[in-house]
Amino acid sequence: MKNRHTLIIALALAASLCPGVTLGQNGFNIPFSQYGIGLSDHPNNMPSAFGMGGTVYSRSARNMINPFNPASYSAIEMESFVLDIGVNLQSCVLRNDKDRLTDADGNLAYLTVAFPITSWWKMSAGLLPYSTVNYESVQTVESDVLGNVKTIYAGNGGVSQIYWGNGFNIGERLALGFNLNYLYGNITRAITYDFLGNDTTYAVNSRNQKNTFVNNLLIDLGLQYSQPLGSRYTLRFGATCRLPRTMKVEDQSLSYTFCTRSSTEYMFDTVFPSPGQSDTYKSTLRQPIAVGLGVALERNERWEVDIDGYYSPYSGMEYEEDPRYNLFGSSALRTAPNWRLALGGEWKGNPGSSSYWGRIGITAGVYHNRAKLSLQTSEATAPTAINETGFGMAFKLPMRKGRSVLTLGVGYSSIGTTDLLRRDVVTFGIAIGSCERWFVKRKYN
């Protein structure tokens, strides 16, 4: 092996398996991320996925890593090592009927590797973002007694996912697989009451703060089945299932008063926990069952059309804090069935073309995500479904005789409505999928 290859695999595995590494936590304001354990962009954090409208369940290829269906690892070519790493640049617009806020950010989106163990067993590992929390909003009200009171709602952090996946060929047409996912992260939320007057006779500034620490395991199951249709076409089915689980997460809450002088905060008194009481307690995190189904029609590795469907009793994870320690009041998050439909197509290019442009692949797709969030402003009103719609496209530029690919993708997503809050995001993604022949002993005559 060449030294540079050894360095690449060492860095890839170290980054993938290091719990201290966190990906995909954006720096701009995402108000929708304040609920549960944050907002998830799955599967639209990977250019190869959002470039196909998020169709992932029936897709597989010898030089592509698809962690959203672990059965797809079975297509990894023998004697190959596949490294897939992506970077996303995003431009975000928040708007309602009156105001508009624009921001931009970029991050390392994901890192995955895959390689064969035997002809029927392939393995993959990687690091993916699971959810992001980053928000800040300010509300100022006037009181006859207290004067102007500024309330600041803020949060940051997120959850990342390390996975270890395996795909197995069961005969020539059927593949099964599983992912063992380790979720970890830290989320900090705070509500600050800032009394803008200088008189502290009646009130002083105070803050309720909570840290949530996530360390849990989840399991994904996957299946893919290929059915030839004559000599030119192949019909491929995909299915995934994320098993439900109820987990415990650790919370730490703190409530205190403070004053600010020369931009420095000085704590007056701790209101919670009281003397002799611990600030650490357990809350509940529920992962519902989630099922994804996909079907793809492929013609001679030249073009492909995919349709995906996804269902879960509710989106993401349901977080329930121990009511004895709830410093934030009741949550506005309500559960509702979450559906996602996606349609994508790919022109794979002609690998035998004498022209480089003829070997370039092009993908495009659209999706609609119903009830990504469901908010209820009061007990007397019905929950409001927050839907998301988006589309994307990507160009696949072959490298090294077509085995490795540089993917350039652009995607657009819109969640919410302007009468409440709408978030529009344009994502530019760059991914390098390196597929090199490894584990081969060269012979010379």
pLDDT of residue 438: 66
Question: Which residue would you say has higher pLDDT here, 1 or 363?
Answer: 363
Average pLDDT score over residue span 399-405: 75
Displacement of CA 147 from its chain's centroid (Å): 43
- pLDDT of residue 412 exceeding 90, the answer is yes
Confidence of residue 4 (pLDDT cuts 50, 70, 90): very low
Backbone angles phi, psi at 253, to 5 degrees: -115, 150
What pLDDT is recorded for position 145?
67
**∠ at Cα 296 (109, 83), nearest 5°?**
30
pLDDT tens readout for residues 23-65: 555 667 888 898 888 898 888 889 999 999 999 999 999 889 9
Q: Write the DSSP string, 59-122.
A: --BTTB--TTSGGGGGGSPTTEEEEEEEEEEEEEEEE-SS-EEEEEEEEEEEEEEEEESSSSEE
CA 47, 52, 55, 58 dihedral sign is negative
**Which amino acid appears at position 335 of this protein?**
T
Higher local confidence (pLDDT), 67 or 20: 67
User: Which range (106-110, 125-129, 311-315, 432-436) has the least confidence?
Assistant: 432-436
- pLDDT confidence of 419, banded at 50, 70, 90? confident
- Which range among 240-254, 275-289, 313-327 shows the weakest confidence by mean pLDDT? 313-327
Q: 119: how many CB neighbours lie within 10 A of its CB?
A: 8
For 151, list phi and psi in degrees, rounded to 5.
-105, 125
pTM: predicted TM-score of the whole model, two decimal places: 0.88
pLDDT at 1: 43
How confident is the model over 309-354, as pLDDT tens digits? 999 998 888 888 877 667 666 544 567 899 999 999 999 988 878 8
Is residue 211's pLDDT more than 90? yes
Q: What is the mean pLDDT of the chain?
A: 86
- Looking at residue 264, its pLDDT comes to 79
What is d(CA 185, CA 187) in angstroms, rounded to the nearest whole number?
7
Q: What is the pLDDT of residues 364-377, one digit of tens each?
A: 999 999 998 877 65
Lowest mean pLDDT among 9-13, 67-71, 211-215, 405-409: 9-13
Residue 260 reports pLDDT greater than 90: no
Beta-carbon count within 10 A of 345 CB: 18
pLDDT at 427: 95
With bands split at pLDDT 50, 70 and 90, how would you rate the model's confidence at 120?
A: very high
* Least confident residue range of 221-235, 261-275, 323-337: 323-337
Q: Any bridge partners for residue 149, and if so which?
A: 141, 195
Mean pLDDT, to the nearest integer, of 426-438?
87
Question: Which domains are present in the chain?
Answer: 3-249+288-437 (2.40.160.60)
Whether the predicted pLDDT of 10 surpasses 50: no
Percent of the chain past pLDDT 70, that is, above it, reads 84
Helices (runs of H) and strands (runs of E) counted in the chain: 2, 18
